Amino acid sequence: MITDKQSYHSYVKEDLKAHGLSRVGVYDYWWRDCLRFQLRLRRIEYLYNTAGHNPLKHLCRFLLEVVNHRLGTRLGFTIPKNVFGPGLHIVHYGTIVVHPDARVGKNCRLHPSTSIGDFNGVPRLGDNVYIGPGAKIYGPVTLGDNVAVGANAVVNKSFGSNVTLGGVPARIIAEKGAMEQGVFSGDTLNATNKDLPQSSILNQYQCRTEDCPDSPQRLWQVDIVEHTDGKDFAGFGQGDFQGECADGVSAPTARDAAPADGAELCLLSTTPRA
């Protein structure tokens, strides 16, 4: 929750990262309606939580709520204050209904035609949660961290962390979470890769039978890698390694999963694929 000016700026910074921005210019502010709604919402949260007995802050908050309510109605949003943690990304305009007593952690990616509602209680969602188009989450349910809720899923019971949910009613359809499914932007991944479970830090590989042993290569699947200059990067991709099909670590020659400009990647750790 935003409690002071410092936390307000932190929330705004993380929201911009989720939208792939480092700062917001005039064009972005007026052209990206969802982002403009979010930025106003954060300002409303700041004024509401810090106003105290300051009548000017109360007046500013009231006027801003009126303006943002009109924008939200046009976009189809019913999103109250103090529900979402930092790093919220409303992907597109469309109907989004959220109960004011619901609580959602940081880095939520929220698609249209979704509902987080009340039915004898309200949901509590963890960090790094992806809510796909048309998903419905209702009742006194709890979702852990790093959960992906698939399109049109209906969640009416609690689930733990690091899973993908789908279906009506929702069930676990994959033992991989939102981060591993590649549904977040690179900036969000950069900011949150240290929060991923240790089991996600791996490089899976196997020898390509058609190439081994004459032209040994490895198929690879990277969940967390880092630049050769030491800067962390979380990602997901596939490519080829040169070298022997053994337990040693070698740098990849394929660069299709590099974070920028084909930068060479180094591995953090390796786990042989069964």
pLDDT over 50 (residue 243):
no
Write a three-state SS string for 85-151: CCCCEECCCCCEEECCCCEECCCCEECCCEEEECCCCCCEECCCCEECCCCEEECCCEECCCCEECC
Residue 248: its pLDDT value, please?
A: 37
Q: Is the pLDDT of residue 12 over 70?
A: yes
Considering the chain, what percentage of its residues have pLDDT values greater than 70?
Answer: 67
Is 54's pLDDT higher than 60?
A: yes
% of the chain exceeding 90 in pLDDT: 60
What confidence score (pLDDT) does residue 214 get? 39
Q: Rounded to whole angstroms, how far apart are CA atoms 92 and 32?
A: 9
CATH topology of domain 5-174: UDP N-Acetylglucosamine Acyltransferase; domain 1 (2.160.10)
What pLDDT was estimated at residue 184? 75
Task: Map out the domains of the chain as residue ranges.
Answer: 5-174, 201-267
Q: Please tell me whether the overall predicted TM-score, pTM, comes out greater than 0.85 for this model.
A: no
Q: Quick one: average pLDDT of 218-243?
A: 36
Average pLDDT over residues 83-105: 96
Q: Which is more confident, 49 or 250?
A: 49
pLDDT, mean of residues 57-85: 96
CA distance 146 to 155: 15
Instruction: Say what the pLDDT of residue 185 is.
Output: 60
- The sign one gets for the Cα dihedral 115, 120, 124, 130 is negative
pLDDT at 107: 94
Return the beta strands (E) in the chain as ranges.
77-78, 89-90, 96-98, 103-104, 109-110, 114-117, 124-125, 130-131, 136-138, 142-143, 148-149, 154-155, 164-166, 171-174, 203-207, 217-227, 232-242, 265-267
* Residue 202 contacts residue 176 (beta carbons within 8 Å): no
Mean pLDDT of 187-193: 49
